[in-house]
Amino acid sequence: MLQRVRGSLARMGVHHIDLLQLHWEDFKAHGWIDVMKHLVALQKSGLVRHVGVTNFDVPRLLRLLDAGIKPVTNQVGGCWASGLVVWCRTASIAVERPWLGGCHMTCFM
């Protein structure tokens, strides 16, 4: 993963990535917490400023927090229950929702 990130940085001509998000489709498959640990290691190295997730519900966010990983944002699509937004607000996780082909950011910090 480190080599790929360094290659991407070189191709973009930048020194770091502002936000790197994990989008995991099949939570029955193991390994998503390990992948997040790798993203956090990239963050600690300075190659990535922030790590986030996409379409995580409260139980999965709690598993991340239990593992000592706190994403800065949760990008959600479609119609999510307001309970997720409220929970993210109490956990100081920004909720980002794609909107009309762009991004409409709703921060709860």
The DSSP annotation for 46-101 comes to: TSEEEEEEES--HHHHHHHHHTT---SEEE--S---HHHHHHHHHTT-EEEEEETT
Q: What is the pTM of this model?
A: 0.81
In the predicted model, residues of the chain with pLDDT beneath 50 are: 100, 102-105, 107-109
Domains of the chain, with CATH numbers? 2-106 (3.20.20.100)
Cα–Cα distance for residue pair 10/12, rounded to 1 Å: 5
For residue range 2-28, list pLDDT tens digits in order. Answer: 888 899 999 999 999 999 999 887 778
Q: In this structure, what are the phi and psi dihedrals at residue 105, rounded to the nearest 5 degrees?
A: -100, 125
